[in-house]
Amino acid sequence: MQEFQLLAVHDEDDDGALGWQERALCAQTDPEAFFPEKGGSTREAKKVCVGCEVQAECLEYALANDERFGIWGGLSERERRKLKKRAV
């Protein structure tokens, strides 16, 4: 759950670089959906991400910080790994 808590925190010292997290829809929904058990469904989290205005910023953050758990920017960890491999 620590990863989700990061989404809801605004970093005042970062001059708003992480300010997108305040506008993230996931910060207003059930965190369990974004960190499903292994083999669990990611469908509900991805539905939230589709309508989120900061989806691109979220994905960029996850890729830059090598987030290994949860749904970030509408992608699972496996999907983010594939995306990174294609970019290389």
Q: Any binding-site annotation on 28?
A: no
Q: Would the CA dihedral through 12, 64, 52, 79 be positive or negative?
A: negative
The annotation status of 52 as a binding-site residue, yes or no, is yes
User: Binding residue per annotation — 51?
Assistant: no
Ramachandran angles phi, psi of 83, nearest 5°: -60, -45
Is 49 part of any known ligand binding site?
yes
Quick check: 26 and 52 in contact, CB under 8 A?
yes
Binding site residue list: 26, 49, 52, 58
Binding site residue list for [4Fe-4S] cluster: 26, 49, 52, 58
